[in-house]
Amino acid sequence: SSAVSGPLQGSLTVQCRYEPGWETYHKWWCQGAKWSDCHILVQTDGSEQEVKGDRVSIKDNWKSRTFTVTMEDLRWNSADTYWCGIEKSGTDLGVDVKVTIDP
């Protein structure tokens, strides 16, 4: 679990690390306090192509085994619990990230 903050109307970047062997799996960024019913905001297609959502983007880097999430135009209600997730058969893997907005 980790925490990151960004300025109101600004942007923040989160780096999510993963183990070797997970490179081609779908990665995603999910919003909501509970892992079991969080809302996926943006998801990779299993490649290193950047995927853009609404004020959020995700990009995987296989060599460094990190995927980077960028949130832009931060609002007060952007402050929440988010999850770095990897889609796998059975149960998805995830780690929570607390996002706060700087006054």
Domain, as residue range, for 47:
2-101
Q: How many folded domains does the chain comprise?
A: 1
Give the pair of three-digit tokens for residue 101: 């907005």
Residue 12: pLDDT over 80: yes
CATH for 9: 2.60.40.10
Reading the block at residue 84, the tokens are: 């770095």
The predicted-structure confidence for 16-69, as pLDDT tens digits, reads as follows 999 999 999 999 999 999 988 999 999 999 999 999 999 999 999 999 999 999
Question: Are the CB atoms for 42 and 49 separated by under 8 Å?
Answer: no
